[in-house]
Structure 1
């Protein structure tokens, strides 16, 4: 007999036997209207289970299953066909998402015809997107609408990438002539970067000190001048404090969406418009190197106090000290001071907070040329900011502008590579990471070399010994793997044409990056582990760590299998090793700041490569991030020559990361990870539950493929004896360095070829262990963590690396 019992009915039976009733409560409802997500709690006695689903019914079933699993009750599989089928994706929602990210008008549906007898009706629904029209026929209006949307989806996907939705199919009239015939038509997809015009110049060169009520009007003036369309979208869900929420869509290139809230709908529109103007102001900035007579390069948000603004302008945490306290108990006077940029600033106030804000105002004006919010709430930059010594080439304001540009480049590249491949469903992400390359100080040289998404680790019961599975699918880890593949491709390019490669000759055959080449890591949110474990609320991001001395600060942590949580690696944490899998991203990035991002294999051929900056899309904290990424390792002993403790510039962008398709930092993470590498074909999709591609093959950034590419490279680096088998450069773990260039892994150019000291057939682990200087540095890193009481570095089983590759001859 077929089983027809669901988890809800099974739970109801068990509760009835124990004389209790399960209670279901709806916790939250998120997502878009056509793609909702419900979270429901089920309480049965002392047991609580939580479930999520696209409907309340499916979420209720998931919550009941969670309770039954805790009771260790077996849930039989449903034998009915309905239980085995999976609902197909809704074409109405897919069409809505596609046209939104293409910057086209929203689809419009019309009922065209209704025929047939009452018991067998037939409906015809038409859908219009711009000048394109399609129809769908079915037995209900809902199904007919889906049929029409599906037909329109197929039509749009078959169109050329540069199709204008405002042109009739088959029309041969040029776009210029159409523009002349219809001057009022709005062109979509215009770029705001370095835009010119009277209104946008006025916005660029002046602070946003006008009333909120004028924001919508000013935005419309700029939209008309720059020839792009705007659209306000009122969200049905209430925002914080039960306020109205609104989105304003700017049909620019890339497409931009800005958010606003308010006590009234018109004030929500005004807030969204002001945020849009701030975005346009940032995007329209001229290259920083060309800013000579322009005031107000960057307009800080008016809601930030001076201490927050100063924290964001500096790399190291602010250290205020109380110099004196005087006056009677009921009216004290505090004198505070701080040393910044080689200067000491002092101020007094009736409260410590007032004194700190007064100091911050002086420092902002003196060091950075910014006048902070006064009693009237206005702020502006009086002159071109004084170059900061906190970074060798960028001023603080230029760093912030470049951070915003890096964020925009990464997000635009994600949209480009997914939409060009017709795979817009992979735009969903919880964490996005990417690496941007720069050449010198010109912002025009910035280019995205790789990007990745992902937040999960695959569940592996036994160690994998072939190197095909990726054990960590977090975005920043995959992005680093992509960069290693990019560097390998650049080594192959070096053999063909050294001028077009990023590498140049170095010491004893070790190549080095060309002068001016830098890499910048972007992450849409703080890396998991120590950098994010103590961040509770985003509104507190600008304040110092109120408990910097707590023992939990800086502790090594490990990721939990198949989860997005971490667990400290101290005390009794390692008593349950089955829960532990790999080190957190905070710990891994910290190791990259010592070992370099090139890895052990490439250290045979190139000098250590370090990140120049780390850019966060949201939740940047001036204490937690520097501590996690290098502050824990300030007491490192002498390292082998060429290695150092790297302290990259850390910057938070001026707006949160744009999460498409309703994904957000609190949404459930997708079960896939994508990666893209410049000059390689298309995006690659990895299933995070397996660590393999969708077809079951290994990823191009897996250990197996990276090792195989490395062996190909070594065949192209013949030794002085003319051998062509894979090999390694003999590295000396000599400590210390004799020059500044040596500390950076650079030195005099040498044409000496790599000397090989191992044979074909060596395992992946053996090749890595022959990088003596790298392994010596790695031992020092782990010993430092252990000696500082921060925990023991988690080691993977040795058999995971015991595989070999036979290179093609």
Structure 2
């Protein structure tokens, strides 16, 4: 559980901080000095700084961190959708004060750093109307140390290692995405996916056809395999194996779900912008054709046979087609709210978020369009979401490309690869067919169903929900029985029947998804494509 810098992810019960109007004659330096002298409360200082620097400040009630045992109140400070370390206390007042102190420990050194103004970004049209102090604060607030060079190098090394073993598939990585796990030990690639197409066929009734093979989608489904693997490790009876899992048990009120360990942070690498990304917004004349085009571009998009169209331009008959799906960019925005784990894993773990998106696309020197696509459309949604869910605004970081792209005129333009840390070999899928190719280094069965398909995910879910996890939960301490008490027990889940019903049973996830789609519709971005329920009505 670490929405930002190791903090606990915000919950749904909010106390919105009303901005206290600091007297115009009182400078930030004076306020900070009064705070350090014990004359000003930490929460009051944050209120005043919010008024001066014009940032969005909220105190959000959340769950106690996993390392805390006992019953305490917990709050975290959220500034412009970035959550800081969780504060705890015997009373809500104490928890708010400690959360404010934790936030100030990080903020004040940046505000007091010399030469802050020299680090200001190039101002766009929208930023020029903000006060200079607010712009200075934003520059300090967003300037955080990152392994900008470690990430592309780690991706480059992993792709080279995989393709050296199978050079015949080196032209399958023109569009590639990868998830990187950063810990105190450094950065390592944990999931890789490539591709740029959708399947031509209708989804199979048994969940064994891979419908969407765009790079970000393939990499995300690979990440889900990684999470399932580490859940099985966590529930293992071997202490050594369990200790190597990326998950931890939460204490206090969050004991019913596992979370990522405190030192684990996830990043996403993409070498091409996902389909559906908007271009940087320009100063357009109202009611002009260009302004109308820009408005259309900001909305939701559908992927149809490799091309992207606004949802408003697709008829009802076309939207019901099996060949239509939401574009990769809109899915990326959705995952920054719902988490990358999906509905089934939400029975066991808290939402898993990405905090930095590294883009190696040479055409993405200006990241404002990507930033808007991923997060700006969802501003203000966090306070509406249920416990554990929030909108994480990732930093968009241009980096050098990992030179693994196939040459022009690739022999296998529809082939997609996937790999997860721990795999002995990569899998090659024909994205148009939605199935593994005959010559794939890894093949799960003679039916050529991909290890990323829905049926494979359901199989992994049942391994976790079944005896592999239940006996360990019943025997273990540290609040593990909360998983069962909370309705996530073996019998309850295994009796669900179909894949679709299991997804529907993830109630908080489904609630967050409904809020997300209602928010997009209310903001004028269009209606999210509703999938036909028959696609998910299968069981094993």
For Structure 1 versus Structure 2, the TM-score category normalised by the shorter chain is 0.5 to 0.7
Q: Deviations over 1:19-76 (max 9, x none)?
A: xxxxxxxxxxxxxxxxxxxxxxxxxxxxxxxxxxxxxxxxxxxxxxxxxxxxxxxxxx
User: Against the structure 1 CA distance between its residues 720 and 494, is the aligned structure 2 distance closer, same or farther, given a 3 Å change threshold?
Assistant: closer
Instruction: Tell me the residue number matched to 2:310.
Output: 568
Alignment of 1:155-554 (within 5 A): 310-311=121-122, 319-321=126-128, 339-342=134-137, 388-390=140-142, 395=144, 398-399=145-146, 402-419=147-164, 421-440=165-184, 444-460=185-201, 462-496=202-236, 497-506=241-250, 507-529=254-276, 531=277, 533-534=278-279, 545-547=282-284, 550-554=294-298
Quote the offset at 1:423 in angstroms: 3.3
- SS of the aligned residue for 1:519 comes to strand
* 1:576 CA drift (Å): 3.2
Q: Aligned partners of 1:774, 1:476: CA distance in 2, in Å?
A: 21
CA distance in 2, matches of 1:719, 1:554: 49
Q: SS at the partner of 1:699?
A: coil
Residues 720 and 518 (structure 1 numbering): CA distance in 2 closer, same or farther, change over 3 Å?
A: closer
Structure number, greater radius of gyration:
1
How far 1:455 sits from its partner (Å)?
Answer: 0.3
Pair 623,580 (structure 1): closer, same or farther in 2 beyond 3 Å:
farther
What is the SS of the residue equivalent to 1:310? coil
Shift of 1:445: 1.4
Corresponding residue for residue 450 of structure 2: 699
**C-alpha deviation, 1:588, in angstroms:** 0.3
Match of 2:469 in 1: 717
Partners of 1:702 and 1:487 lie apart in 2 by 15
| Number of residue pairs the alignment of both structures matches | 389
Shift of 1:701: 1.3
Greater relative CO (CA pairs within 8 A, separation 6+): 2
Q: 1:499 Cα deviation (Å)?
A: 1.6
Partner Cα separation in structure 2 for residue 579 and residue 649 of structure 1: 34
2:300 to 537, 540, 556: 556
Q: 1:765: which partner in 2?
A: 500
Q: Counterparts of 1:510 and 1:721 in 2: how far apart (Å)?
A: 12
- For 1:469 and 1:781, the matched residues in 2 are separated by 27
User: Could you tell me how far apart the structure 1 residues matched to 2:465 and 2:326 are?
Assistant: 30
- C-alpha distance after superposition, 1:415-457 (max 9, x if no partner): 21121x23343344321110000114xxx51000011111011
Q: Report the TM-score when normalising by structure 2.
A: 0.66
CA distance in 2, matches of 1:517, 1:438: 6
Aligned-residue offset at 1:310? 2.9
CA distance, structure 2, for counterparts of residue 585 and residue 775 of structure 1? 20
Q: How many Å separate the matches in 2 of 1:687 and 1:607?
A: 33
Cα distance in 2 between the residues matched to 1:320 and 1:646 = 21
User: 5+ residue gaps in structure 1?
Assistant: 1-305, 324-335, 344-366, 368-387, 536-543, 724-748
Distance in 2 between the 1:700 and 1:579 partners?
21
Aligned-pair distance for 1:579? 8.5
Conservation of the 8 A alpha-carbon contact between 2:269 and 2:358: yes
Could you list the per-position Cα deviations for residues 84-112 of structure 1 after superposition, in whole angstroms to 9, with x for gaps in the alignment? Answer: xxxxxxxxxxxxxxxxxxxxxxxxxxxxx
| 1:600 aligned onto 2:350 | no
TM-superposition CA deviations, 1:569-611 (whole Å, max 9, x none): 1255546334951101110011101100011011000111111
Which residue number in structure 2 is paired with residue 624 of structure 1? Answer: 369
Who is 1:782 aligned against?
517
Q: Deviations over 1:389-416 (max 9, x none)?
A: 216xxx3xx43xx233211211221121
Per-residue deviation, 1:758: 3.7
> Secondary structure, in 3 states, of the residue corresponding to 1:718?
helix
Q: Deviations over 1:704-736 (max 9, x none)?
A: 11110110111122279969xxxxxxxxxxxxx
CA distance in structure 1 between the aligned counterparts of 2:318 and 2:273, rounded to whole angstroms: 27
Q: Which has the higher helix share?
A: 2
Deviations 1:453-512 (A, max 9, x none): 11011102x342111111000011010001000011001111223321111002233111
Measure the CA separation in 2 of the matches of 1:525 and 1:676: 19
Instruction: Work out whether residues 436 and 446 of structure 1, in 8 Å CA contact, stay in contact via their aligned partners in 2.
Output: yes
Determine the C-alpha separation between the residues in 1 that align with 2:375 and 2:209: 29
Question: Quick one: distance in 2 between partners of 1:762 and 1:437?
Answer: 34
Query: Judging changes above 3 Å, is the alpha-carbon distance between structure 1 residues 418 and 310 closer, same or farther for their aligned structure 2 residues?
Result: same
What secondary structure, in the 3-state scheme, does the structure 2 residue paired with 1:342 have? Answer: helix
Higher mean Cα deviation, 713-722 or 519-528? 713-722
Output the TM-score relative to the length of structure 1.
0.45
- Distance in structure 1 (CA, Å) of the matches to 2:344 and 2:537: 15
Deviation at 1:686, TM superposition (A): 0.3
Contact 2:222–2:452 (8 Å) recurs in 1: yes
Distance 1:616 1:516 in 2: 23
User: 1:341 and 1:770, CA in 2 relative to 1: closer, same or farther beyond 3 A?
Assistant: same
Counterpart residue number, 1:583: 326
Would the alpha carbon gap of residues 790 and 669 (structure 1) be closer, same or farther in structure 2, given more than 3 Å must change? farther
CA contact (8 A) 1:720 1:753 kept: no
Within 1, Cα distance between the matches of 2:424 and 2:178?
Answer: 17
